[in-house]
């Protein structure tokens, strides 16, 4: 199998194995807030390891962050966080989610279609697209209960369209590191190759002079 074929079939990821990925998956969708916190911390570590997280992971991180933030602050004191703060946090997460959906579709050569059309093709209802438009362009943020409903839908959508799908179709592929002997042999071959090129150049130069 050529390297080009490998590149098209496999991708580098920030998690060590599918075992780790499945653990995080179970924590993300746990009903226990401590499990969700563990999932968030692990997702954030993944984010530091790569330039771009897979879109499904990035969107999950955004929604999970808002949900945890609300849970933690509400547990401390309802007065700490305002209604408007929650509206802004949920609006930001929803806007980012739909922006990523649009970018993914553009990558598949569908840049000319509207966001409504793209969302419809991915089973995302139009009311969520409308909510995103209001959050991005209106002077008044959408009602909190609608934003929460949208976030719940997106969280479930990510489970169906990213996490479950990846769990069923992704597997580990390890590239064995070279041993010290293998590295030494590769270095020797490289040096001999350079030496051969040098000797050939010397031979050609002498031939030109005679």
Q: Identify the pLDDT of residue 91.
A: 95
pLDDT tens sequence across 113-169: 788 888 888 999 999 999 999 999 988 999 999 999 999 999 999 999 999 998 887
Nearest to 25 by CA among 38, 14, 12: 38
Q: What is the pTM of this model?
A: 0.73
The pLDDT value given to residue 199: 72
**What pLDDT does 59 receive?**
93
Across the range 17-23, mean pLDDT stands at 92
Burial class (CB in 10 A: 0-12, 13-18, 19+), 124: buried
Q: Does residue 9 surpass a pLDDT of 60?
A: no
Phi-psi region of 172 (alpha: psi -120 to 50; beta: other; left: phi over 0): beta
Model pLDDT, residue 5 = 37
What's the rounded Cα separation, in Å, for the pair 64 and 142?
A: 20
**Best-predicted range by mean pLDDT (9-13, 74-78, 104-108, 127-131):** 127-131
Are the C-beta atoms of 58 and 163 separated by less than 8 Å? no
For 48-99, the pLDDT digits (tens) are 998 889 999 999 999 999 999 888 777 666 555 677 888 999 999 999 999 9
Distant-in-sequence, close-in-space partners of 144: CB < 8 Å, separation ≥ 6: 83, 86, 87, 90
DSSP state of 66: H
Q: What pLDDT, on the 0 to 100 scale, is given for residue 6?
A: 35
- Taking only the tens place, the pLDDT of each residue in 164-204 is 998 887 766 555 555 555 555 666 666 776 676 667 666 66
Q: Where are the alpha helices (DSSP H) in 77-108?
A: 83-107
66, 93 Cβ separation under 8 angstroms: yes
Q: Is a pLDDT exceeding 80 seen at residue 45? A: yes
pLDDT of 8 higher than 60:
no
pLDDT at 4 over 50: no
């Amino acid at each position: 199998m050529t390297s080009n074929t490998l590149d098209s079939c496999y991708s580098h990821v920030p998690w060590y194995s599918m075992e780790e990925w499945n653990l995080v998956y179970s924590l993300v969708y746990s009903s226990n807030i401590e499990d969700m916190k563990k999932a968030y911390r692990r997702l954030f570590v993944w984010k530091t390891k790569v330039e771009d997280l897979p879109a499904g992971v990035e969107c999950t991180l955004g929604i999970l962050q808002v949900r945890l933030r609300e849970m933690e602050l509400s547990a401390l004191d309802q007065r700490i966080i305002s209604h408007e703060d929650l509206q802004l946090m949920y609006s930001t997460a929803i806007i980012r989610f739909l922006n990523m959906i649009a970018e993914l579709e553009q990558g598949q050569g569908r840049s000319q279609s509207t966001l409504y059309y793209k969302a419809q093709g991915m089973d995302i209802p139009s009311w969520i697209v409308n909510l995103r438009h209001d959050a991005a362009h209106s002077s008044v943020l959408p009602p909190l209960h609608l934003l929460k409903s949208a976030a719940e839908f997106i969280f479930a959508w990510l489970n169906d369209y990213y996490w479950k799908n990846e769990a069923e179709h992704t597997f580990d592929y390890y590239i064995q590191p070279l041993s010290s002997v293998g590295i030494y042999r590769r270095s020797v071959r490289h040096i001999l190759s350079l030496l051969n090129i040098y000797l050939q150049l010397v031979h050609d130069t002498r031939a030109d002079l005679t």
